[in-house]
Structure 1
Amino acid sequence: MAHAPAVAADHRQNPFGLVYRGAITKNAPGKVNIHPATYKLNGLDIVANVYTPANYDPAKRYAAIVVAHPNGGVKEQVAGLYAQHLAEQGYVTITADAAYQGGSGGAPRSMDKPANRIEDVHGMADFITRYPGVDEMRLGLLGVCGGGGYALSAAKTDKRFKSVATLSMFNSGRVRRNGFADSQLDTVQARLRQASAARAQEMAGGNILYAGDADMTDAQIAALPFEMYRQGYAYYWRTHAHPSSTFKYTMGSLLDLMRWDASDQIDLIDQPLLMIAGGKADSGYMTDDAFAKATGTTDKALFKIDGASHIETYWVPEYVDAAMGKLTPFFARTLVAGGLIKPKAVI
């Protein structure tokens, strides 16, 4: 099915810097409101947006959901879109820029190490569970793309999360190690040596080397071999561009990324799990693999959005609606006061 070109808000015209369609432009009484926040995490300033539901009353008790953004993304893009939609369902939600990325602190910039990204998820939980009106016993987690892989890792051990969902999950470790669709298996050792040399140079005070940093022309984007990357460059560099968002990451980060995998010890997840992916996404193999290995929970479901690619789940209204059509009942069931209601059937 063909879709009209993505139309997004201009971050320069939005007072909160949001770029997604239908973004909040002002805090109005009786509506979902957005609250920029800053907090400390391991000595770094983390910038976040908290969304509160319509008619929010801090004297009441609300379930909350942490939303982890994609690799290279920031809180103003797809993570903000889903955080806003979930707030419309009555949740207090939070999405924050990863440490060393976006508007958050940390140097060198664009460091992308799994331990940091996982700690970001824990840190959002630390902050939002102390937010006025939040019931810390009703905390959910949603991870998008790379944030989905890190959400799975965080939920393995952080049992504050009563349920976890992923959208278009991207296993950053597997892709950085093996290449997309395992297409670079023959160059693993050479790339590890390159990353090792980059770290040595960085630690010696030399220039910091980066991977994934490219300002491509439209023709170059069209020539990329995988649909996810073609549409990803269009999303992040054209239709939903934000000045804090970048694909690049320090070359030295590969030492950590290439020895990590989102599906390692995934059987530690015993919470309810919902994994959503585009039905025609070329990244779907990562969701399929992780879902099959998630044997520690008996309450799990896999949903494929018919006709959707990976990036289209970020912005195409009908696909966003389809994802919300599963997220809404999932979190309603798993974040209820007094405990989990078991499903009658797997969706």
Structure 2
Amino acid sequence: MQLTQEWDKTFPQSDKVQHQKVTFKNRYGITLVGDLYLPKEVTQASLPALAVSGPYGAVKEQASGLYAQTMAERGYITLAFDPSFTGESGGEPRHISSPEINTEDFSAAVDFLGLQELVDKDRIGVIGICGFGGMSLNAAAADTRIKAVVTTSMYDMSRVMSKGYFDSMTAEERQGALEQMNQQRWEDAKNGEPAFAPQGLPEPSALTGEEPPFVTEYVDYYRTSRGFHPRSINSNGSWTATTALSFMNMPLLSYIGDIAPRPLLLIAGENAHSRYFSEDASKAAGDNAELLILDGLVHVDLYDHPEHIPFARIDKFFSEHLA
């Protein structure tokens, strides 16, 4: 694997942490690549650790890396990783996602962190951003080694793919989508490789003003210098045309209640189009879940704006629950 060694993140490098590129394998034998961040001054031999990933279609050089580096400044050992089939991580074909394998990626990150000499394996939490917020909750439901979970701007990707935004997809539309993707499978099988969907986000200059506000917000993050990264699917590519198939009938959050009594903190912006995912997950999780709605913020404000991301609150949560 040809891994980038120079600093190529969308955020400045901190002089308060140590950083190194690492690799590890998930349960399916796929090699994952991550950035490991450690406090510059390690004052004890057994530190809490956090696995971080997301948003959906992003890479570790974007939001997840910012979260990981910032939490390392606050005394945690952190691992921001590229999910299977994306970024620098392995897996073929490229640019496909799976509710099962991407959930497993979080547990593989826990495997890796728990084997590090400086990590207390009984004090590991996860942070999931956007679509990988749902994956992180799904991982915690089955992986009892995950002691606490924070999500920001959480998406349930299985819900949005199978039901549309705000559950607006009709039965006919669902059947139509399934029919289209299954017909595409014939073409992919004939060609020996998957076709890719059209570029998901337009160039900023192509915006007409008629798009939903959240599309404009995504373009402002992924397709401008603010958050563009060449390895990010949302910045510079697209998912395979049949990616949604595995999400259509495999709901991610069926067992979210099994996370109890381990604590959850679900953070969303007041004006985020995705806010309802966090609200519904909080209700389904029960009394162990805390919902934090931040005044005036939209979905992508929690990607890269340190003045908006409540890092002090996240630190307080993990300090209490990874004690």
Q: CA deviation at 1:207?
A: 4.8
Match of 1:7 in 2: none
Which of 8, 33, 46 pairs up with 1:17?
Answer: 8
Shift of 1:209: 2.0
CA contact (8 A) 1:68 1:147 kept: yes
Check 1:215–1:306 CA distance in 2 against 1; reply closer, same or farther (3 A cut).
closer
Of 303, 307, 313, the residue aligned with 2:292 is: 303
Task: Report the counterpart of residue 205 of structure 1 in structure 2.
Answer: 191
Task: Identify the match of residue 222 of structure 2 among 236, 243, 259.
Answer: 236
Q: Post-superposition shift, 1:197?
A: 1.7
Q: CA deviation at 1:43?
A: 2.5
Query: What residue is the counterpart of 1:5 in the other structure?
Result: none
Question: Structure 1 residues 325, 160: CA separation in 2 closer, same or farther (over 3 Å shift)?
Answer: same
Question: 2-side partners of 1:112 and 1:224: how far apart?
Answer: 29
- Match for 2:255: what amino acid? Q
Correspondence 1:245 to 2:232: yes
> What's the offset of the Cα at 1:77?
0.5
What TM-score comes out, normalization by structure 2 length?
A: 0.91
Q: Which residue of 1 aligns with 2:107?
A: 122
251, 254, 257: which one aligns with 1:261 = 251
More off after superposition, 230-239 vs 152-161: 230-239
In structure 1, what residue type is equivalent to 2:166? A
In the TM superposition, residue 82 of structure 1 has moved relative to its aligned partner by: 0.7
Say whether residues 1:193 and 2:183 are aligned partners. no
- Structure 1 pair 257–133 and aligned structure 2 pair: CA distance change class (3 A): same
| 3-state SS, counterpart of residue 242 of structure 1 | coil
Confirm or deny: 8 A CA contact 1:101 1:111 kept in the other structure. Answer: yes
Residue of 155, 173, 177 corresponding to 2:158: 173
Greater mean alpha carbon deviation, residues 174-183 or residues 137-146:
174-183
Q: 1:120 and 1:224 mapped to 2: Cα distance?
A: 37
Structure 1 residue aligned with 2:167? 182
Measure, in 1, the Cα distance between the counterparts of 2:47 and 2:210. Answer: 44
- Describe the SS at the equivalent of 1:282: coil
Alpha-carbon distance, 1:134 to partner:
0.3
Alignment deviations for residues 140-182 of structure 1 (CA, whole Å, 9 cap, x no partner):
1110001100001000010101111100001111111122233
Indicate how the Cα distance of structure 1 residues 221 and 148 shifts in structure 2: closer, same or farther if over 3 A, else same.
Answer: farther
Report what 2:303 is aligned to.
314
- How do 1:1-347 and structure 2 match up within 5 A? 15-20=6-11, 22-24=12-14, 31-41=16-26, 42-56=28-42, 60-185=45-170, 186-211=172-197, 213-214=199-200, 216-221=202-207, 223=209, 225-238=211-224, 239-247=226-234, 248-270=238-260, 271-295=262-286, 298-320=287-309, 323-336=310-323
For these two proteins, the number of residue pairs brought into alignment is 313
Q: Which amino acid in the other structure matches residue 218 of structure 1?
A: P
Verify the 8 A CA contact 1:226 1:282 in the aligned structure 2: no
Distance 1:282 1:65, change over 3 A: same
Looking at structure 1, the residues matched to 92 and 232 of structure 2 have their Cα atoms a distance apart, in angstroms, of 16
- What is the letter of the counterpart of residue 180 of structure 2? Q
Cα contact 2:153–2:278 (8 A) shared by 1: yes
Deviation, structure 1 residue 242: 0.7
Displacement after TM superposition at 1:215 (Å): 5.7
C-alpha distance in 2, partners of 1:145/1:202? 29
Contact preservation (8 Å) 1:174, 1:260: no
Q: 1:246 to 1:126 in 2, by over 3 A?
A: same
Indicate conservation of the 8 Å contact 1:141/1:151, yes or no. Answer: yes
Q: What is the TM-score when the length of structure 1 is the normalising length?
A: 0.85
Shift of the 264–181 alpha-carbon distance from structure 1 to 2, 3 Å rule, reads: same
CA RMSD in angstroms comes to 1.9
Answer yes or no: is the 8 Å Cα contact 1:71–1:147 preserved in 2.
yes
Contact 2:201 2:219 in 1 (8 A): no
Q: Is the 8 A contact 2:203 2:223 kept in 1?
A: no
Q: Residue 257 of structure 2 aligns to a residue in which SS? A: helix
1:198 offset after TM fit, Å? 2.0
Give the C-alpha shift of residue 264 in structure 1.
Answer: 1.5
Deviation by residue 1:52-106 (Cα, 9 ceiling, x = unmatched): 013126x711000111211110001000111111111100000110111111111
| AA of the residue aligned to 1:315 | D
For the Cα contact (< 8 Å) 1:222–1:230, is it kept in 2?
Answer: no
Displacement of 1:226 in angstroms is 2.8
Structure-1 separation of matches of 2:157 and 2:190: 27
Gaps of 5+ in 2: none
Tell me the SS of whatever aligns to 1:104: coil
Tell me the secondary structure at the aligned position of residue 252 of structure 1: coil
Distance in 2 separating the partners of 1:113 and 1:123: 15
Give the partner amino acid of 2:160: V
